[in-house]
């Protein structure tokens, strides 16, 4: 059975990935902070799909904890075929209001951990000439959106650049850039989203289904933006006049508080 390591599988998009992959017969390694919740997800998925679920509690903002996940990824006796770098959070405060430790923690989880886990997974994948890395980015990666947007811009750009390096190796990498998704994400960070129109909301399962369709079809594009409406949003963010893009992003940030 192939094995997938999913970060942030206890809620939202990561939980939907874990469910989908278990349904496809993947054994799982589940990584996040809440050990009790990890155990509960592992028990449910094992009971429903019969797959093996290993839990690896780790706070990905902590360098020592990240190293334990790197060790698991680079264990040649227990190969990981698919890595989903999904764990993440947002801050409710702007850069001016927030404390620097929160900003550092965000970069540790969204950038440093993604870079280190990707590097750790690639060793064995390149030797086996097979493997997939899915990095959950965001449409925020295409617009100026605080440290969060800048971190996601790194994820998208990093994945795109790495995909070019991986051509012909049998290993692929994909950045997935969702818009607003109904998960615990906004509630956890205290970000205000009540006034957002219904069309802006996606379900975690939409993101997973789009990713699986992309991978199953063997599409080579290293960046996936689920749904046409968000492809248009991303197009506007990337190609629209920068003063308008900056103003719109700023308004959206003000609206969230
Ligand atoms: N929801 C959206 O609108 C949206 C849009 C675009 C992109 N995204 C991205 O999608 C990804 C998943 O977000 P989500 O919406 O599914 O959020 P969510 O429902 O809040 O789930 C976040 C997951 O990440 C884990 N996590 C958070 N901080 C962690 C840390 N320091 N170390 C280890 N695990 C940690 C959480 O588990 P524990 O609490 O157990 O650690 C949880 O399993 C994130 O990268 C996010 O930036 C979300």
3-class SS of residue 85:
strand
pLDDT tens over the chain, length 257 residues? 899 999 999 999 999 999 999 999 999 999 999 999 999 999 999 999 999 999 999 999 999 999 999 999 999 999 999 999 999 999 989 999 999 999 999 999 999 999 999 999 999 999 999 999 999 999 999 999 899 999 999 999 999 999 999 999 999 999 999 999 999 999 998 888 888 899 999 999 999 999 999 999 999 999 999 999 999 999 999 999 999 999 888 887 766 65
* Residue bearing the CA closest to ligand 1, atom 44: 88
- Tell me if the pTM is above 0.95: yes
> Which ligand 1 atom is nearest residue 178's CA?
6
What's the sign of the alpha-carbon dihedral 44, 25, 223, 147? positive
Residues in the ligand 1 pocket, defined by CB under 6 Å:
7-14, 32-34, 37, 59-61, 86-89, 109, 136, 138, 178, 180-181, 183-185, 188
Q: What residue ranges define each of the domains in the chain, with the CATH number in brackets?
A: 3-254 (3.40.50.720)
Known catalytic residues are 148
Please state, in angstroms and as integers, the Cα–Cα distance from residue 181 to each residue in 119, 138, 200, 244, following that order.
28, 10, 8, 24
What is the distance in A from the centroid of ligand 1 to the CA of 141? 16
3-class SS of residue 134:
strand
What is the model's pLDDT at position 145?
A: 87
What is the model's pLDDT at position 65?
A: 98
Per-position b or e across 168-191, b if 16+ CB within 10 A of its CB: eeebbbbbbbbbbbebebbeebeb
Per-position b or e across 192-215, b if 16+ CB within 10 A of its CB: eeeeeeeeeebebebbbebbeebe
* Residue bearing the CA closest to ligand 1, atom 25: 8
> Which ligand 1 atom is nearest residue 14's CA?
16
Torsion angle, alpha carbons of 13, 142, 107, 105, to 10: -60
What is the distance in A from the centroid of ligand 1 to the CA of 40? 17
Torsion angle, alpha carbons of 223, 19, 30, 8, to 10: 50
Please state, in angstroms and as integers, the Cα–Cα distance from residue 172 to each residue in 58, 127, 135, following that order.
25, 13, 11
What is the model's pLDDT at position 55?
A: 98
What is the model's pLDDT at position 257?
A: 57
DSSP annotation of 93 reads: S
What is the model's pLDDT at position 222?
A: 98
What is the model's pLDDT at position 190?
A: 87
């Amino acid at each position: 059975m192939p094995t997938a390591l999913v970060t942030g599988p206890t809620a939202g998009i990561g939980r939907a990935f874990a469910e989908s992959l278990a349904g496809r017969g993947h054994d799982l390694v589940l990584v996040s902070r809440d050990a009790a919740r990890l155990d509960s997800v592992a028990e449910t998925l094992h009971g429903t799909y019969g797959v093996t679920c290993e839990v690896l509690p780790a706070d990905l903002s902590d360098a020592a904890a990240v190293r334990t996940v790197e060790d698991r990824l680079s264990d040649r006796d227990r190969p990981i075929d698919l890595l989903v770098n999904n764990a993440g959070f947002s801050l409710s405060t702007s850069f001016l209001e927030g404390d620097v430790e929160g900003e550092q923690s965000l970069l540790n989880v969204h950038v440093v951990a993604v870079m280190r886990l990707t590097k750790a997974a690639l060793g064995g994948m390149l030797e086996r000439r097979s493997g997939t890395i899915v990095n959950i980015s965001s449409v925020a990666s295409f617009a100026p959106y605080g440290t969060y947007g800048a971190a996601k811009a790194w994820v998208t750009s990093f994945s795109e650049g790495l995909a070019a390096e991986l051509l012909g190796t049998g290993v692929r990498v994909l950045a997935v850039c969702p818009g607003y998704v109904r998960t615990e994400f906004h509630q956890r960070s205290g970000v205000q989203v009540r006034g957002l129109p219904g069309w802006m909301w996606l379900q975690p399962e939409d993101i997973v289904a789009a990713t699986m369709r992309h991978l199953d079809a063997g599409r080579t594009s290293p960046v996936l933006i689920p749904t046409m409406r968000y492809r248009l949003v991303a197009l506007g963010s990337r190609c629209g006049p920068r003063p308008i893009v900056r103003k719109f992003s700023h308004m959206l940030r003000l609206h969230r508080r």
